[in-house]
Structure 1
Amino acid sequence: MAADDAVVDALTLGARIRDRRQRAGMTLSGLAEAVDRAPSQISAIENGKREPRLTLLAAIARAVGTSVEDLMRTDAPNARARLEIEVERAQRGGVFTSLGLEPFRISKGTSDEVLTALLALHDEILHLHSERAATPEEARRANAVLRWEMREADNYLPAMEATAGELLDAVGHAGGPVSHQMVADIATRLGYTLHYVGDLPHSTRSVTDAKHRRIYLPTDGATARDSRSPILQALAGRVLGHAEPRSYAEFLRQRVETNYLTAAVLLPQKVTVPYLREAKQARRISMEELRDHFAVSYETAAHRFTNLATTQLDLRVHFMKVHESGTVIKAYENDRVRFPSDALGAVEGTTVCRNWTARTVFDVADRFSPWYQYTDTPSGTFWCTSRVEKAKEGEYSVSVGVPFEEVKWFRGRETTHRATSRCPDESCCRRPPEALAARWSDAAWPSVRTPTSLLAALPTGSFPGVDTTEVYEFLESHAP
């Protein structure tokens, strides 16, 4: 029985007991005495806060002159009771909790009109919450909460580490990079077969047919260097027991867990931590060398480093993925760096200072060498290593940074590149220089390329951004 159903049943049962007691002309104390229970116990049952055992329910039924079957009917005993049950159910739901409202006692003097109005207001707030769950505002809020939780955990999830270790032990991983064959063996042990196709739905990276235990992957990635990642990401949801997400926040959490488990398999803790500790002792921690040693992408190496840096290496770090437009895509910190944020505390979607490493790296002519930079900020001096990567949406930078006092452990600390950021002071980079503005403020009239995401709500549905019909048609056409 679901939790909500249990609450409704208890409320309805309590209402029917109260109705039958009152019809029998019994007081609460009288019924309590008749069944040899304390009045507080009977009150808790009538208020739906406690469910009686069958023997007690039978005794109550005899005392009020009815049957157990009558008391256990699922309909409210009358219209007034139905209203009270609905209001009580609303008070125990998420809307009241999210608004910080204290539950109130419904008395005989509370009119039907008041209860009806309360229900109408509750339903409208619930409707607005449901609509807002698909908006950029709600997505930013969910991102902010999730980033705070990951910071509290130092971006380290022991349960994921254990699961990754079990998967690797099962296929006999003894050390070194995890091969594509080993990842395929993990899929086989979990009962899945891999199928490479040329018509994968455009909105997906892979599609899993849970019924026939097939994973469909794009043919254009079959021979790619990181072709292991989409397989592991597809398996992660099944391994972790993910169900269809009921909210955008749950969708984000599942994505974080999926990416974490994927990286934890490709860079296993038992071999990655000794490698990083040796690099720290040699004072040459490097994202490029970590990437090359485990044959993963730069972004995966950077992500994995932040998982292990604090709990395993005692290093405070920050991470940024920034679009070439300057917009933050992902961010994490526990080293007191101050990311730009909006009124909701969200970092994703905001614009990074032009002087930060995540932005200056786009102006570097040599895209094949790592870019190091010190940045003096109001919250301290930070050193970063950054690299530009390409994606369908354009170029983006991936940056890992540490406070000045931790740079002694990293390769690239001798760099002479340095910048100063005064953000969020607008005079830093938000406003153009006065001389430049004086020459062009009255003459410039750019035609703005409006991003579609600015006007559109986030896609609704179980998996935001996925065309469900297209996925179903794909599975139908490929089903054995």
Structure 2
Amino acid sequence: MAPTSDQKTGIELKTLGHRIRHHRIRNGLTLDDLGAIVGVAGSQLSLIENGKREPKLSLLQAIADAVSTSVTDLISGEPPNRRAALEIELERAQSSQVFRQLGVPPVKVSKGLPDETLESIIGLHRELERREQEAIATPEEARRANTELRLRQRVADNYLPEIEALAEKQLRAAGHASGALTHRTVSIMAEQLGFELIYAADLPSSTRSITDLENGRIYLPPASIPGGHGLRSMALQAMAHRLLGHERPTDYADFLQQRLEINYYAACCLMPETAAVAFLEQARQERNLAVEDFRDAFGVTHEAAGMRMTNLLTTHLGMRLHFLRVGGEGQVERVYENDDLPLPEDVTGAIEGQIVCRRFSARSAFDQQNRTTEHYQYTDTPTGTFWCSTQTGSRSTGEFSITVGVPFDDAKWWRGRETQVRATSTCPDESCCRRPPTVAQSPWRGKAWPSARVHTHIFSPLPRGAFPGVDDLEVYEFLDRHSTS
């Protein structure tokens, strides 16, 4: 927390007082001795040395002459010794809002207070300030922050025009005209911001990239990692922090907002608005909209292409839609909708982590034998009929599916609209897919005792730190290793 102007003036007067006292004692003068020389009472000098009164320039010049130094030396912002530095730091800490909110009395510093005690108290203040700056949240606070962000984006149709314009400007400056964004162009974009891209095999496991602001370097994983689009995206995200003027996150909601903005910027660069909208408009004219074609045209992942559609289809084509990334057990991992698709929510309004209906394409696609192509399906729901396209995939943590869908009336613009696959979902009615159909007559009722798999993340606190989830020590050790290379 930056000090106010009044606090800053108080600290400067405190430093001035310490420097006057240092030179007075060095010259073997008491307060009364110095007062007699400069023509003021010793009690007045005491107020000046304690930082409670600001001396006139003429008096300051007289004091400087009396202690054989200069006015410039007296008004230096540097404490004259270690003891003075400790007292000034404690004064600053006890003037902060963080300390005042505690409602405890400040420590009065006396000559008899040992330096070691001062250092211990100051250490506690430093830890208090560090914890105050951490972007930490309880799981419930995090869910609420994520829900608020999703709802804001829903109102805006997931479209951020300022970032769209910034991305196109940076691409033009780097000479990118059309086609998939190359790694070389990304490197040029970094160079124009004063950064060099370096691929390091020893990045801390808690980080995706590290930006060294001091030496103008952006460290990324080795280029040999599968999925080149990921390296482009990570580099663009790191640049976005600088372009968007981000400061250290003030809380978890700020952290989420920054993450959304850097992801958005990267998507805008990989799938530029002008070219992407032209591609989508042409596909609609041909009644051949498809996530896989959009994906392949810009050389990105299926998920990135689907999410980019949420940014552009409503604003530019007037088409409302939904996007889902669902895990193999049916849990929602990422979501966006502005077409009123009924989705499960918890009491905070959060959708992430909830289980979607078994009838949804996002889950039924896991039952398909052919996983190489998109699965198309119409689903009747309490809020209307939706057409969906789902692609499944796998990763180290299990299966997942990516779904993009639209209300029935807009299905006519999409490839796969001829599908005969149709399902009915009445969720959140539990009789839809959660309650056994013959509960009353079930021969197993009261005769089974399953042991549930506990999702440990439910009980784990969110990671602490100014950048949640990042191990600060690992980052600093990494930068130490590479700063001399």
TM-score, normalised relative to structure 1: 0.72
Change (3 A) 1:408 1:473: same
For 1:145, which of 137, 143, 148 is the aligned residue? 148
Whole-angstrom distance in 2 between the partners of 1:187 and 1:432? 57
Report Cα offsets for 1:382-439 as digits up to 9, x if no partner. Answer: 1111112333432221111110011111111111111111111011112123269823
Residue in structure 2 matched with residue 219 of structure 1 by the alignment: 222
Report Cα offsets for 1:306-338 as digits up to 9, x if no partner. Answer: 100011111011111111121111111111212
1:293 is aligned to 2:327: no
Residue in structure 2 matched with residue 179 of structure 1 by the alignment: 182
Residue in structure 1 matched with residue 475 of structure 2 by the alignment: 471
Letter in 2 for 1:217: L
Residue in structure 1 matched with residue 332 of structure 2 by the alignment: 328
Q: Which residues of 2 match residues 13-52 of structure 1 at below 5 A? A: none
Report Cα offsets for 1:213-271 as digits up to 9, x if no partner. Answer: 11111116556331311211222212212122121111111111111100100000111
Residue in structure 2 matched with residue 401 of structure 1 by the alignment: 405
Q: Which residues of 2 match residues 291-440 of structure 1 at below 5 A? A: 291-434=295-438, 438-440=442-444
What's the secondary structure of 1:270's corresponding residue? helix
Change (3 A) 1:130 1:219: closer
What's the secondary structure of 1:311's corresponding residue? helix
Which is higher, the Rg of structure 1 or of structure 2? 2
Letter in 2 for 1:190: L
What's the secondary structure of 1:440's corresponding residue? coil
Question: In the comparison of the two structures, how many residue pairs are matched?
Answer: 371
What's the secondary structure of 1:219's corresponding residue? coil
Q: Which residues of 2 match residues 146-161 of structure 1 at below 5 A? A: 146-161=149-164
Deviation at 1:5, TM superposition (A): 3.5
For 2:446, which of 433, 442, 446 is the aligned residue? 442
Gapped runs of 5+ residues in structure 1? 10-66, 71-84, 91-128
Letter in 2 for 1:186: M
What's the secondary structure of 1:326's corresponding residue? coil
The answer (yes or no) to whether the contact 2:136–2:463 under 8 Å persists in 1 is no
Whole-angstrom distance in 2 between the partners of 1:355 and 1:393? 23
Residue in structure 1 matched with residue 466 of structure 2 by the alignment: 462
Residue in structure 1 matched with residue 255 of structure 2 by the alignment: 251
Residue in structure 2 matched with residue 134 of structure 1 by the alignment: 137
Deviation at 1:461, TM superposition (A): 1.0
Greater alpha carbon shift after TM alignment, 177-186 vs 275-284: 177-186
What's the secondary structure of 1:360's corresponding residue? helix
TM-score, normalised relative to structure 2: 0.71
Greater alpha carbon shift after TM alignment, 329-338 vs 293-302: 329-338
Report Cα offsets for 1:106-142 as digits up to 9, x if no partner. Answer: xxxxxxxxxxxxxxxxxxxxxxx99995211111101
Deviation at 1:277, TM superposition (A): 0.4
Residue in structure 1 matched with residue 199 of structure 2 by the alignment: 196
Deviation at 1:69, TM superposition (A): 6.1
Whole-angstrom distance in 2 between the partners of 1:344 and 1:279? 39
Deviation at 1:452, TM superposition (A): 2.0
Change (3 A) 1:138 1:131: farther
Deviation at 1:356, TM superposition (A): 0.8
The answer (yes or no) to whether the contact 1:132–1:138 under 8 Å persists in 2 is no
Deviation at 1:443, TM superposition (A): 3.6
Residue in structure 2 matched with residue 52 of structure 1 by the alignment: none
1:453 is aligned to 2:453: no
Residue in structure 2 matched with residue 236 of structure 1 by the alignment: 240
Letter in 2 for 1:457: P
Change (3 A) 1:256 1:391: farther
Greater alpha carbon shift after TM alignment, 298-307 vs 444-453: 444-453
Change (3 A) 1:213 1:281: same
Whole-angstrom distance in 2 between the partners of 1:246 and 1:293? 39
The answer (yes or no) to whether the contact 1:196–1:222 under 8 Å persists in 2 is no
Whole-angstrom distance in 2 between the partners of 1:437 and 1:301? 48
Change (3 A) 1:68 1:256: same
Residue in structure 2 matched with residue 63 of structure 1 by the alignment: none
Identity %: 50
Letter in 2 for 1:474: F
Whole-angstrom distance in 2 between the partners of 1:281 and 1:397? 28
Deviation at 1:68, TM superposition (A): 9.9
Change (3 A) 1:222 1:170: farther
